[in-house]
Amino acid sequence: MIKKLISKKIILFSAASIFILALVFVIYTFSIIYHGVKTACLKAQNEYQEDCIDSLIKYVQSDEHSFKERNTAIWALGQLADKKALPLLQSLYTGEDSVKDPLNKAVSQYELKKAITWCEKGNATSWMYRNRDTWSMQN
């Protein structure tokens, strides 16, 4: 009887510990994604002085930025999942299904495909950016 009680407590403690670790991991991951999107948005806004989506669109279109920077902006547009970005993303997408392209060699078809899908269907993180109009360089 005592062994069963101890065994149940160990199982309960283990399950609670796993749940807490998983929750911390999810919160940490969402925090990193949020920070990456915010950084990309503010960088583009600093240059183009428009709202986040329009600034990121112009950033992607500019040949003055490296492919890596442009691919980061594409990723951010996908995370934001705003349909306003679809025309640009679709115009850059060739339809080639390739393995992940090197992010510093070309506009990544892999990132474009993900971003298009997220803009069309939404994603698990787009809810986090409802306050993006309040972002500023001071935050």
Task: Tell me which DSSP letter residue 104 carries.
Answer: T
Average pLDDT over residues 48-73: 95
Average pLDDT over all residues of the chain = 89
Q: Report domain extents, the chain.
A: 2-134
Confidence band for 101, pLDDT divided at 50, 70 and 90: low
Would you say the C-alpha torsion 45, 48, 127, 26 has a positive or negative sign? Answer: negative
Place of tokens 């583009």: 44
Average pLDDT over residues 80-87: 95
Give the C-alpha separation, 31 to 70, whole Å.
Answer: 22
Q: Tell me the pTM.
A: 0.83
Q: Is the pLDDT of residue 126 over 90?
A: no
Q: Is the pLDDT of residue 136 over 80?
A: no
Average pLDDT over residues 111-127: 92
Burial of 81 (0-12, 13-18, 19+ CB in 10 A): buried
Helices and strands (DSSP H and E) totals, the chain:
5, 0
